[in-house]
Amino acid sequence: MDLSVTSTDLSTDAAVSTSAASVFIPAPVTPYQGDIARYWDGEARPVNLRLGDVDGLYHHHYGIGAVDRTALGDADDSAYEKRLIAELHRLESAQAELLLDHLGPVERDAMLVDAGCGRGGSMVMAHQRFRCQVEGVTLSAKQADFANQRAHELGIEDHVHARVCNMLGTPFETGQIAASWNNESSMYVDLHDLFAEHSRILEVGGRYVTITGCWNPRYGQPSKWVSQINAHFECNIHSRREYLRAMADNRLVPQAVIDLTAATLPYWELRATSSLVTGIEEAFIASYKDGSFQYLLIAADRV
Nearest to 146 by CA among 226, 211, 49, 22: 49
Q: Is the predicted pLDDT of residue 96 greater than 50, yes or no?
A: yes
Quick one: pLDDT at residue 11? 39
Q: Is the predicted pLDDT of residue 118 greater than 60, yes or no?
A: yes
pLDDT digits (tens, 9 = 90+) for 12-64: 343 333 333 345 566 677 899 999 999 999 887 888 899 999 999 999 999 99
Distance CA 147, CA 123 (A): 9
Task: Identify the structural domains of the chain with CATH numbers, from first to last.
Answer: 12-302 (3.40.50.150)
Mean pLDDT for 94-120 is 98
Q: Is the predicted pLDDT of residue 286 greater than 70, yes or no?
A: yes
Q: Can you name the residues that pair with 239 across neighbouring β-strands?
A: 215
Quick one: pLDDT at residue 191? 98
Spatial CB neighbours of 155, under 8 Å, sequence gap ≥ 6: none
Spatial CB neighbours of 76, under 8 Å, sequence gap ≥ 6: none
Query: Higher confidence at residue 255 or residue 6?
Result: 255
Nearest to 64 by CA among 37, 88, 31: 88
Quick one: pLDDT at residue 97? 99
Angular region, 251: left φ>0, alpha ψ -120 to 50, beta rest: left
Quick one: pLDDT at residue 27? 67
pLDDT digits (tens, 9 = 90+) for 216-271: 999 999 999 999 999 999 999 999 999 999 999 999 999 999 999 999 999 999 99
Q: Is the predicted pLDDT of residue 189 greater than 90, yes or no?
A: yes
Q: Is the predicted pLDDT of residue 154 greater than 90, yes or no?
A: yes
Quick one: pLDDT at residue 44? 78
Q: Can you name the residues that pair with 302 across neighbouring β-strands?
A: 252
Per the prediction, the chain carries an average pLDDT of 92
